[in-house]
């Protein structure tokens, strides 16, 4: 891919509720090599390849956001490592790290291809990595992912650590599926100086408009963990929505992301870009705003910058998965479209 999409600083992104938007999550593909039961399922639908942004277009779009004050970019999917030539894209983005315009480039991955790419990702400029692991049990892992091999993922994690990449684990907790797997994940992660973040399953995609049957509040999970561990609340906050506790017995941290049981919308400082160029201002809203037209409609950066500011102006105060005032909205968009 070519490099050179540089734009002049053009204000900061402030949403209608006064929040400074300085985090961008970029889905580089909606494809994935897993079929997780709460995300894609056995019969996924993908966007036509002709609708996907090219890596040059993604670079131009990310550079425009950097010019608008975005300081952290996370690459997501689908599974980002199935996107061809992704390493060249990371290398291109890393020029913004060298210039000081960006603080970090991170990635969320299922880890299945990490063993192949970890060293090159570190060399290309990736700052750190999140790996999604919902259980350490091989049989349960295969069932959740519809065919994944947890040993391959764990080997990928070790490859990332050997390459010097800081690693954090993410776990989507589901009742009757992996809620009893959390203690083992805590011990595994903390033995390797990795944080573990637990996430509530959301009513999106396969569960649009209804509470997933496997939903379990992380309040209950925390109560269960406190029967085994001593947990102390921390003031630590990451660049995301997790609330952290310290586990006395291991010395490590566990984060809780609770979009359903305890909202965090008031501090939301991020927007998402899909692989087809739609800006998603909030996971819990149906609305997406097209940036692809502005991207392809002019070689000048002015219209693109204007479109970004106009899109951020639509960011709502909070999600509508469920409120006391109304029924949950039916967000048919699956997580593979926007990433985590």
Residue ranges for the known binding site for S-adenosyl-L-methionine are 38, 78, 132, 202
HSE-CB at 102 with a 13 A cutoff on CA atoms is: 24
What is the rounded distance in angstroms from the CA atom of residue 169 to the CA atom of residue 198?
9
The overall longest dimension of the chain from CA atoms, in Å, is 59
What letter does residue 81 receive in the DSSP assignment?
Answer: G
- Binding-site residue ranges: 25, 32, 36, 38-39, 74, 78, 108, 132, 168, 202, 265, 268, 270-272, 282
What is residue 254's three-state secondary structure?
strand
Q: Alpha carbon of 304 to those of 64, 276, 308: distances in Å?
A: 7, 15, 6
| Residue 149: both structure tokens together | 């091999």
What letter does residue 323 receive in the DSSP assignment?
Answer: B
Is the CB of residue 88 less than 8 Å from the CB of residue 68? no
- Binding-site residue ranges for GTP: 25, 74, 108, 168, 270-272
Residues 7, 8, 12, 15: is their CA dihedral positive or negative? negative
Residues 141, 322, 29, 24: is their CA dihedral positive or negative? negative
- Binding-site residue ranges for [4Fe-4S] cluster: 32, 36, 39, 265, 268, 282
């Amino acid at each position: 891919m070519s490099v050179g999409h540089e734009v002049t600083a053009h204000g900061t992104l402030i949403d209608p509720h006064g929040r400074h938007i300085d985090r961008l999550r970029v889905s580089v593909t909606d494809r994935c090599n897993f079929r997780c039961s709460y995300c894609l399922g056995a019969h996924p639908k993908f966007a036509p390849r002709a609708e996907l942004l090219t890596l040059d277009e993604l670079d131009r779009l990310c550079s425009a956001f950097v010019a608008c004050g975005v300081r952290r970019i996370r690459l997501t999917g689908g599974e980002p490592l199935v996107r061809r030539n992704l390493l060249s894209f990371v290398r291109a983005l890393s020029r913004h790290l060298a210039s000081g315009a960006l603080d970090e480039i991170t990635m969320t991955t299922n880890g299945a291809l990490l063993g192949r790419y970890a060293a090159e990702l570190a060399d290309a400029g990736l700052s750190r990595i999140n790996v999604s692991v919902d259980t350490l049990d091989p049989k349960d892992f295969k069932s959740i992912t519809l065919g994944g091999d947890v040993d391959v993922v764990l080997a990928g994690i070790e490859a990332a650590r050997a390459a010097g990449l800081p690693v954090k684990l993410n776990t989507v907790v589901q009742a009757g599926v992996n809620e009893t797997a959390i203690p083992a994940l805590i011990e595994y992660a903390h033995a390797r100086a990795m944080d573990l973040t637990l996430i509530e399953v959301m009513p999106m995609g396969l569960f649009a408009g209804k509470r997933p049957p496997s939903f379990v509040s992380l309040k209950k999970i925390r109560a269960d963990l406190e029967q085994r561990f001593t947990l102390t609340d921390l003031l630590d906050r990451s660049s995301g929505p997790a609330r952290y506790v310290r586990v006395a017995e291991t010395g490590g941290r566990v984060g809780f992301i609770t979009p359903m049981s305890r909202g965090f919308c008031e501090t939301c400082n991020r927007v998402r870009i899909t692989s087809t160029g739609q800006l998603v201002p909030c996971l819990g809203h149906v609305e997406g705003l097209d940036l692809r037209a502005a991207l392809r409609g002019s070689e000048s950066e002015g219209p693109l910058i204007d479109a970004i500011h106009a899109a951020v102006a639509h960011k709502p105060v909070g999600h509508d998965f469920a409120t006391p005032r109304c029924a949950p909205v039916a967000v048919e968009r699956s997580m593979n479209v926007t990433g985590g």
